[in-house]
Structure 1
């Protein structure tokens, strides 16, 4: 562990050369083109080398890098990675000014920008451009995120230490540079609203038909949290196609010289209540120390571990009878709930829920590779397709090895991955889900995890879409060359994007057509898109760059990625398109430096926000009334809480010995934060028998109190706990039973379902599977005439007007 990996620069009073960041975002439909300018100034007496390590989404295609010094623009070249580093180092050793931008070798979502030999008193601007496609949220929002949080990645023994371990960190509020951001959105069908997790200006339409709008961050924004913008378009689910002409000055036969096409499909097929009860569901749960962090930087935000535990209980309650399941938790070591996957029954569900409620984030570092290997060594159950659900905050140092392991075993399972909290590695989460033909989601800010996870389970239980293919109709002499793989799985409401290069002679006035075909329940479906081949010259080849990035990613993650032929193609594609890869880097040298600078330059690492450190300092402030400045000052030499500390007790020991008497005063509070074994807690509202529920009942969500009482077969039994949730008394429930059956389970189960519709309709995504089980159980035990009586009596008792048709009864 680095001796001073905390507030190095700020607390030692060393100046930070990065003064501010300015970002311009252009969003057209589902593609964002971003220009970020980093402004530096050296106010020290000696030349410095400023190093800024920052996150970008895994799918970002960085295509331009340049610097401006004393009014002179220096445009970087893209070179093979080793050559770029050699060029940079040689320039620095000669006293020349140089600039380097490269992707981290361990993970494709981490970049470093080095400004070498910045003379005393000099200012410099470094500008980088990137493009990326934007995801579509379940509520129809197009989501743009500018990531700021870069959590330290845990590095297992025997692996090279992650670059993130060397980054200096400060608590929220101490970042010494600001962010200016302006975003322009364009949609052919109109924009209804734009929302953000940060303070932004009111949305301003920039044209009369409301197809263009802009927003800006509030002045003086500190770049200490991810900036999220949600744009709501009209007709957002309309399939679309974009064709981009080749560049006239590009080398003939290359990707940049030919037209490139981006296909946006929105597959749709009839909704069905049919669900499979087959399947082997494995839930891989991160219990490393960082999962104790908050979901976001807001006061009283839930812990990642607690939110995930709630979600796991929901999943366990939503599984169908007849399937198999197991839960595996991991940190520096791993544990299986059961020796093998177990059949889903009332008994196994109850045992699993009990163990989930006992889980804590106390298992050390994030070592996900070993539990994955153990999972893959176990045989898949016949006729029960394996579905692996991964929950992690993504702070993994050996990302590429993990993805390779998943890919080697992709043929016998599907992986669905969830990135929890700000700073989750997009490289890991997207990498493992794509490797095993699954999907992924990121849960950040104030988002609830449960709807996204339950939707993934719904997809897993639906009948499988098969025979997926692309059918092209093009003029003679024109052929498509795919730059990205066609979709291998199709899910309702999820967009499918494909990039292709069109080779051959394009005759204007002609049209092309492409169809996505697939079979669902023995019926063939077809999504067709027609497009003109009249192509105008372009200034910014956005689609070409995205296509190049897609091709590079396919090659880098392919089974032959280590072959020289694949590496050669990655480098060629990267240099031709100007899109950086893991094997290339941008480098620029100011060859007009008048006088060589005496060296070597003093290295200055740019600090970033640390959420875990922030929560500890806030705890000290809130508990004992110290000023935040005093707390920060006293904590200047606090070593960063590395996840290599395998236990809560070890963490507490480091805190106590490092901060001394100050932490002695905070002993009880620190103990509650990091030594939870002394005062065990349970997941709020999911374990009615837990002693802490009574004290927290007011804060517990009624929905989860109800869910905790549901049985594995979908039914509820008459109890005082259930009556309390429904706002009734036991006597009322018993006396209003229309059939007065000795077994009132049908009656109370129907009451619970009606209550869900009346009280929790806006959370339907979370309980839809539970309702499906309940209704199936009710139908198997009551006739249709009885159900009408039950529904009428339930409506009267709960003062509702639910129509039986809404229940499918």
Structure 2
């Protein structure tokens, strides 16, 4: 158990009195304001550090603190200057707050609370803007993580912290949560797993609504809202007015338009899965892949999880395709000299090699294996798909990205960043330049679902050759603010920001956006007319998200070799301060002038652990996530050299003492799903043997005796495997969908007359109720 929040001298939490959250949703973006009320009940002034995460796609844009009746608002400025001002304020006896982006991760923020007097209260308010993610049922998801605002057990209990989301411990503080939703399209409904007050529509066309959590809600779990709009696939555009006092021609002075593009793919196109392709898997086997996936109990090593995932990928490939596997570290090697046809023999050879893989190849040199892959002649009618798994970063990112870009016409690149230390510039850059898709696997995330989602993308057509044509009245122009959009897969949504420059002379003027693209060889064009009249009371969320997009692009460019780092840093600081959006080079500083007397003696410094979460998937895991200054200077050997670290913040850095790690790690529970999949043949069938029936929890004699008459053992084994998948593993369907498709296709080819009987007997044997039509026969 780990205590959360501000800690007293007796290692007890400073009481968190209340939380107030206000959510403002505009179409596909949201502004979140969260206020936390604390009180220092110590007899000494307190300096504390509170570390909290925000969604990776969010932009922090406001910070303020109220001490007693005095409110101080943070101002954004260059980080080193902000730190100097903070230190000076503390030394002068003033109260100060410093809010900055962590050096370890762009989606973790550190709040330094300086000189909070004994018996004093403090209300901390921070505001961020974020894009809402699209779900499989076309809804938009907003999540307020319970771990963002710590959860305490009642005073006097021993448990300290509610460390499990499912725990039902009384929460000793109040939570107020209200959401106001507006959209260009009518709002169909708002749902949540938490109890909500009835949805109230604020206008006749249902484009504005308000909803709140029920008053008795206990903040012992994430608050998730699912927003459903009518005509979800219809492109929409929202124009937001600039700041009246800002200079025209600047980002904040001009209107910004947000285009939401969420194309609907024809069923005929998406139901067809390609059986061709050249699949090249590139696996990082550097030393850091021997680190644990996270700091929690039962954490597997990265290389172990990657091996299982690669076996799953191999089992899921279609017959008739081609494939190869590369490993890299300080050097590289491949399973086959060149890509080979996918057969039972080649798959078995590859699986054997994969199971032997260890994190024993030194550094992270990815450029040379990519050069070798691209030097291989492409196989006619088999488009090349490159899957890259890595947990590190490289010193020649710019060269790697340029190589991928030069070969983008001949392949698609799907990249996977493993662990918090993976380079965002490298991982995102490879997918962007290679017209593919990127995934980050962090914390306690399972790697398999994310990788299989990318395989589905690779086997299905995507929107490519995307062209946007913006038309505005005479005297106006548009400036694109988003990175180029190269590809869009089914289920993905793109938000595109553009700055509107010039004067709009008419109150009813309209703009036009035409989006052209190719899908499955067919050209498609969508035209959207929108009003240039800005929406009211927008809160500048669109401007700030556009600024965040530009800031992140500049920061990624800054990480590349040969970049003009100082010039880029100056641009980031200028844009960050202008827009009020935090960056890696700026921080919020708030100072409340006190008595003016300098402090006598050292401040009490407090470690402030909290429940850390995976920033991208928003799933929590318990860990301490900050440390006193001495820990900031500590180093750990990982990825081939000393790495500065904040103690216990980077949950994915490997331990220096592998013996201690091994002794504390409990045995890994056998994953029956992966075991079943590993037994499947390349053709899609299973053989009846003891390993298979062990997955079913039966003996071989039990299963064989129930074989229907005139049915071969292989057919019976395959039917049972499909029933087991549908009966016990539906929540993991994304992982086994292609495995099941191959199996169903194989059974169809066997022309079995008694399939219905097989399904009936199989259900009875395994205790399931799976319908025959669900199995895909």
TM-score of the two chains, using structure 2 as the length reference? 0.74
Deviation, 1:51, is: 1.6
Give the structure 2 partner of residue 89 of structure 1: 87
Q: Is the 8 A contact 2:425 2:556 kept in 1?
A: no
Partner of 2:129: 131
Distance change in 2, residues 1:753/1:805 (3 Å) = closer
SS class of match (2:33): strand
Match of 1:709 in 2: 679
Checking the alignment, whether the CA contact within 8 Å between 1:410 and 1:435 is kept in structure 2 is yes
- Return the match for 2:672 from 650, 674, 684: 684
**1:244 matched to 2:240:** yes
The answer to whether 1:265 aligns with 2:275 is no
Could you tell me how far apart the structure 1 residues matched to 2:294 and 2:80 are? 39
Q: CA deviation at 1:26?
A: 1.0
Structure 2 distance, partners of 1:452, 1:186, is 30
Pick aligned residue for 1:54 from 49, 52, 58: 52
Decide whether the 8 Å contact of 1:287 with 1:329 is kept in 2: no
1:797 aligns to what?
A: 758
Structure 2 CA distance for partners of 1:171 and 1:11, relative to 1, 3 Å? farther
Q: Give the superposition deviation at 1:323.
A: 2.4
Task: Select 1:585's aligned residue among 574, 584, 587.
Answer: 587
1:282 aligns with 2:282: yes
Q: What 5-or-longer segments of structure 1 have no aligned partner? A: 151-168, 618-637, 654-669, 688-704, 738-742
Query: Quick one: which of 16, 20, 24 aligns to 1:19?
Result: 16
1:15 deviates by 4.7
Contact (CA 8 Å) 2:513, 2:528: kept in 1 or not? yes
Mark the CA change 1:681 to 1:184 in structure 2 (over 3 Å): closer, same or farther. closer
Distance 1:212 1:304, change over 3 A: farther
Q: Deviations over 1:618-644 (max 9, x none)?
A: xxxxxxxxxxxxxxxxxxxx9999954
Q: Distance in 1 between matches of 2:43 and 2:741?
A: 70
Instruction: Name the SS for the 2:487 alignment partner.
Output: coil
Three-state SS of the structure 2 residue aligned to 1:508 is coil
Q: 1:650 to 1:755 in 2, by over 3 A?
A: closer
Q: Structure 1 residues 495, 292: closer, same or farther in 2, change over 3 A?
A: closer
- Alpha-carbon offset, residue 442 of structure 1: 6.4
Q: Deviations along 1:278-336, whole A, 9 cap, x unmatched?
A: 231235588544337569xxxx9999988766544432211234322337599xx9997
Matched, 1:436 2:431: yes
| Match of residue 512 from structure 2 | 513
Q: CA deviation at 1:71?
A: 0.9
Aligned equivalents of 1:447 and 1:588: distance in 2?
A: 36
- Tell whether the 8 Å contact from 2:187 to 2:228 is kept in structure 1 after alignment: yes
Q: Secondary structure at the match of 1:555?
A: helix
User: How many Å apart are 1:371 and its aligned residue?
Assistant: 5.8
Counterparts in 2 of 1:109 and 1:591: CA distance versus 1, 3 Å? same
Q: 2:739 aligns with which of 753, 759, 770?
A: 770
Q: What is the rounded CA distance, in whole Å, between the counterparts of 1:426 and 1:45 in structure 2?
A: 40
Contact 2:461 2:489 in 1 (8 A): no
Contact 1:470–1:486, Cα closer than 8 Å, also in 2: no
Deviations 1:337-360 (A, max 9, x none): 848776344344335545666889
Given that 2:66 and 2:72 are in contact with CA atoms closer than 8 Å, whether structure 1 keeps it comes out as: yes
Residue 179 to residue 566, structure 1, CA distance change in 2 (3 Å): farther
* 1:546 CA drift (Å): 0.9
> Structure 2: how far apart are the matches of 1:581 and 1:216?
36
After superposition, the Cα gap between the structure-2 partners of 1:48 and 1:762, relative to the gap in structure 1 and judged at 3 Å, is: closer
CA shift digits 1:227-272 (9 cap, x unpaired): 3514141444443221111221211211111111111111233324
Alignment of 1:329-368 (within 5 A): 338=335, 343=340, 344-353=342-351
Q: Is the 8 A contact 1:57 1:147 kept in 2?
A: no
Cα 1:614/1:425, change in 2 over 3 Å? closer
> Is the 1:42–1:120 Cα contact (8 Å) retained in structure 2?
yes
Deviation for aligned residue 1:212 = 3.5
Once the two structures are superposed, residues 43-80 of structure 1 have per-residue CA deviations (whole angstroms, 9 ceiling, x without a partner) of 34443322212222232211112221231221222112
Q: How many pairs are equivalent?
A: 688
- Measured after TM superposition, the shift of residue 190 of structure 1 is 3.3
Determine if contact 1:56/1:146 at 8 Å carries over to the other structure: no
> Take 2:217 and 2:301, find their aligned partners in 1: how far apart are those partners?
30
| Distance across 1 between alignment mates of 2:55 and 2:62 | 16
**Distance in 2 between residues matched to 1:475 and 1:483, nearest whole Å:** 20
Distance across 1 between alignment mates of 2:510 and 2:430: 35
SS in 1 for 2:292: helix
Question: Who is 1:546 aligned against?
Answer: 545
Match of 1:461 among 459, 462, 468: 459
Offset, 1:6: 10
Q: 1:256 aligns to what SS in structure 2?
A: coil
CA separation in 2, counterparts of 1:548 and 1:604? 35
Aligned residue number for residue 491 of structure 2? 493
In structure 2, the partner of 1:165 is none
Matched, 1:645 2:655: yes
Aligned counterparts of 2:413 and 2:126: Cα–Cα separation in 1? 34
Deviations 1:130-181 (A, max 9, x none): 111121122434333445769xxxxxxxxxxxxxxxxxx9975599996836
Alignment partners' CA distance in 1, 2:162 and 2:112: 24
- On the 8 A contact 2:284/2:389 being kept in 1, the answer is yes
Match of 1:624 in 2: none
Are 1:205 and 2:205 an aligned pair? no
Q: Which residue of 2 aligns with 1:215?
A: 213
**Aligned partner (choices 101, 105, 110) of residue 112 of structure 1:** 110
Structure 1 residues 64-79: aligned runs within 5 Å: 64-79=62-77
Q: Which among 179, 196, 207 is matched to residue 184 of structure 1?
A: 179
SS at match of 1:379: helix
TM-score, normalised relative to structure 1: 0.71
Contact 2:190 2:199 in 1 (8 A): no
CA distance in 2, matches of 1:534, 1:88: 42
| 1:427-460 superposed Cα distances (whole Å, 9 cap, x missing partner) | 8569723553243456799987644432210111
Paired position in structure 2 for 1:158:
none
1:98/1:590 contact within 8 Å kept: yes
Q: How does 1:388-403 map to 2 (within 5 A)?
A: 388-390=387-389
**1:735 aligns to 2:732 (yes or no):** no
SS in 2 for 1:24: strand
**How far apart in 1 are the matches of 2:289 and 2:425?**
20
1:785-807: CA deviations, max 9, x gaps?
xx4xx3x5212432487569965
Maintained 8 Å contact 2:196/2:211: no
The equivalent residue for 2:100 is 102
Counterpart-to-counterpart distance in 1, 2:465 and 2:759 = 48
CA contact (8 A) 1:309 1:357 kept: yes
Q: In 1, distance between residues paired with 2:334 and 2:302?
A: 20
